[in-house]
Chains A and B, each alone.
Chain A
Amino acid sequence: MKELIAIVMAAVLVNNYVLAQFLGICPFLGVSKKLDQAAGMSVAVIFVMLLATAVTYPIQYFVLNPNGLGYLQTIVFILVIAALVQLVEIILKKYIPALHASLGVYLPLITTNCAVLGVCISNVDNYLTATGGFGGGFVQAMFNSLGSGLGFLLAMVLFSGVRSRVDKCKCPECFKGMPITLISAAIVSVSFMGFAGIVENLLG
């Protein structure tokens, strides 16, 4: 249990996908203008990350690895994620229209979100071991996805707050728009560097 909490905390605070590993920068800069959009996008990302891991990890373990098809990883994963996102959208539209109205907007954008493919590949790289069996690695991978998604949510929500303030401030003409956004992202990123070592110290 302690181990799983450590995985989630490390993914949220120390190895934050957006601010420390530079994955999913496009939505981070593009959709973080308003708090509700940022939260909606992040919830959709958490959902897709969990689902994608739940599907791609068994594929790697039961299909690709035993048949020596490891090199097909990239192509299989991206197709699975793209198909999965489409499927989720269709199911939500048909059966849960309320959820589709709030999340559906963000789902097509997620297909080309590198954070989702990134989390699937790094889960397979880090937690799938030849000797460890399926169960243990799979649970760790799922918790890592959850942590990564929560980290994305945290970064998006915090940054949308920062951005709403920055947009109201005066800054030199040439810094308007993207440059000042990037520089405020740098400052938010500095604050996350302060979490280095927190997991080791708290959970030993």
Chain B
Amino acid sequence: MKNNKLNILTNGIIKENPILVLILGTCPFLAVTTQASNAIGMGAAVTFVLLCSNVMISLLRKVISDKVRIPCYIVVIASFVTLVQMIVKAYFKSLDDALGLYLPLIVVNCIILGRAEMFANKNGALDSALDAIGMGVGYTLAMLAMASIREIFGAGTWFGIALPVLSENNISIMTMAPGGFAIFGILIAIINKASNGKAIKKKDFSCEGCPSAAACNGQNCAEKREAAAK
């Protein structure tokens, strides 16, 4: 039993890392990973929202009727995002400036709605909390890895501390938009290579990983209709 709980916790960190394996929540991942400190801040905010919403949804899973579950989840998630926005605005002014638009956009982050749909509405509060912590830590670690690469090579600093040699020879395109896309691609390729393609089951987007599939029941999914037509 204890082993099982540990599995739930570590699942999100390695085997089902939300970013590098499930490829969910890519927008803030690419946008705020220009500095390691922003990545930690964003990771903490997402983990907090994920933890609170997972526990709340898990506790309410017998109350919420199946038909209106998506709007209910969105309300729960949006409330916690508003809470985080207030806390960050009040106590972490520089983080608020750095994250800007991406802080309220946590509400449409696929990971949170995805975990609510895939895990929290089927499992108890404790399991959901563990799942949220695992996923949150996995998300934060992936963000930190990406941000470290981009900041060290792109700006020659790490957590704002200037590094010798690198800060005079920085590759500034790595902190810009193209660098984000390219490094993300290379990171996924490295993981593919290291695990001999076992880690990445989902090499492409499909209905399984898409939280909107829950909203549309897969009926509207263009790819599914195509598959049915064949």
A residues apposed to B, CB below 8 Å: 19-26, 29-31, 37, 71-75, 78-79, 82, 104-109, 111-114, 117-118, 121-122, 125, 172-183, 185-187, 189-190, 192-193
Contacts and interface: CB of A to CB of B under 8 A. Distances in A.
A117 B108 contact: yes
Given A105-B222, A118-B101, A183 B182 contact: yes
Interface stretch (B57-65, B77-85, B128-136, B149-157): B77-85
Contacts of B204: 177-178
Contacts of A105: 220-222, 225
A114 B109 CA distance: 8
B75 A25 contact: no
A71 B90 CA distance: 13
Interface in B195-230: 197, 200, 203-205, 210-212, 215-216, 220-222, 225
B164 interface: no
B78 A79 contact: yes
A138 to B, nearest CB: 20
Given A19-B177, A30-B210, A178-B188, A117 B31 contact: no
Interface in B177-196: 177-182, 184-186, 188-190, 192-193
CB-CB nearest 8 A-B residue pairs: A182-B185, A177-B203, A186-B181, A30-B205, A186-B182, A75-B78, A22-B31, A174-B192
Contact of A71 (B30, B82, B110, B205): B82
Contacts of B85: 71, 74
B226 to A, nearest CB: 9
Contacts of A26: 26-27, 110, 205, 210
A174 B181 contact: no
A111 B113 CA distance: 12
B108 A25 contact: no
Nearest to A19: B177
A75 B225 CA distance: 33
B107 interface: yes
B110 A112 contact: yes
A173 B197 contact: yes
Contacts of B110: 26, 112
Interface in B22-36: 23, 26-28, 30-31
Contact of A117 (B107, B178, B212): B107
Chain A interface, DSSP helix/strand/loop, else mixed: helix
Contacts of B162: none
Contacts of A176: 203
A183 to B, nearest CB: 4
Contacts of B74: 78-79, 82
Contacts of B181: 182-183, 185-186, 189
18 contacts: A22-B26, A23-B27, A23-B105, A71-B85, A72-B82, A74-B81, A75-B107, A108-B215, A108-B220, A109-B210, A111-B212, A117-B104, A173-B192, A178-B188, A179-B185, A182-B188, A190-B178, A192-B177
B86 interface: yes
B27 A112 contact: no
Given A75-B79, A105-B222, A108-B215, A186 B105 contact: no
A104 B222 CA distance: 10
A75 B189 contact: no
B176 interface: yes
A105 B81 CA distance: 29
Contacts of B210: 26, 30, 109
Contacts of B178: 186-187, 189-190, 193
